[in-house]
Homo-oligomer: A and B are copies of this chain.
């Protein structure tokens, strides 16, 4: 009794693409340290960065049938986000499926499971963040939900939320907050540029961030090595 939801909302690609100019760490901070997928998701090649609208897909363990269903709903600028109903490291996705989703404008894959054909996917420049690499294929016996809210590596993702992924991992930005998070990411980056300049000259974070007093208040003590 799986469900496929059509006509789900998406985030304006202009906003998606601008968010994609910021790193995952920056965006994660800019939205209050929320929305991060767990660090078990790693890119199959580096360096890499991509942003897209979440095209969500739930799969049974060892069964990739609903990925085929999801392809039909793909729109240019989508990023496929796949999660199994129970933990599985099988190779759900390979070069043939990549060929298929690329033809429909999908920009990459985030999957809390395994992928295969990673040499081909790397050569094709199709970015993937996965929990494992495994040649073990899957069956097509049990359909799962497509374009419904899912939990992927601990993050809650709804169709059309913005997903940004790079060497550091994967972050999900709720579509209602995408514009605001973009703004805060920009501000954060500018602020960091000023700090970087001071730090590269050797100034201390202790002074730039005025931490000394607060540290003393928390009981930090300086002592000298006994024999020094």
A interface residues, Cβ below 8 angstroms from B: 1-9, 23-25, 28-29, 32-33, 36, 38-39, 42, 46-47, 49, 60-63, 65, 68-69, 71-72, 85-91, 94-97, 99-100, 102-104, 114, 116-119, 122, 132-137, 139-143, 147, 149, 151, 154-156, 166-169, 171, 192, 195-196, 199-202, 204-206, 209, 211, 215, 218-225, 227-228
Check A5 against B225 for contact (C-beta < 8 Å).
Answer: yes
Chain B CB count within 10 A is highest, among A100, A114, A140, A209, for A100
Q: Which residues of B contact A137 (CB under 8 A)?
A: 25, 28-29, 33
Q: Which residues of B contact A94 (CB under 8 A)?
A: 25
20 A-B interface contacts by CB (under 8 A): A1-B219, A2-B219, A2-B220, A3-B220, A4-B221, A6-B224, A8-B225, A25-B91, A29-B137, A33-B85, A39-B136, A46-B118, A61-B88, A61-B90, A71-B206, A99-B200, A102-B200, A134-B169, A143-B215, A143-B218
Check A4 against B206 for contact (C-beta < 8 Å).
Answer: no
Give the distance to chain B from A44, nearest Cβ to Cβ, in Å: 9
Q: Which residues of B contact A169 (CB under 8 A)?
A: 133-135
Partner of A196, one of B39, B96, B149, B155: B96
Give the distance to chain B from A209, nearest Cβ to Cβ, in Å: 7
Check B39 against A133 for contact (C-beta < 8 Å).
Answer: yes
Give the distance to chain B from A70, nearest Cβ to Cβ, in Å: 10
User: Measured between alpha carbons, how far is A149 from B34 in the docked complex, in Å?
Assistant: 12
A118-B167, A141-B141, A225-B9 known; A136 vs B218 contact (CB < 8 Å): no
Give the distance to chain B from A92, nearest Cβ to Cβ, in Å: 11
Check A89 against B90 for contact (C-beta < 8 Å).
Answer: no
A1-B219, A211-B68, A228-B8 known; A25 vs B166 contact (CB < 8 Å): no
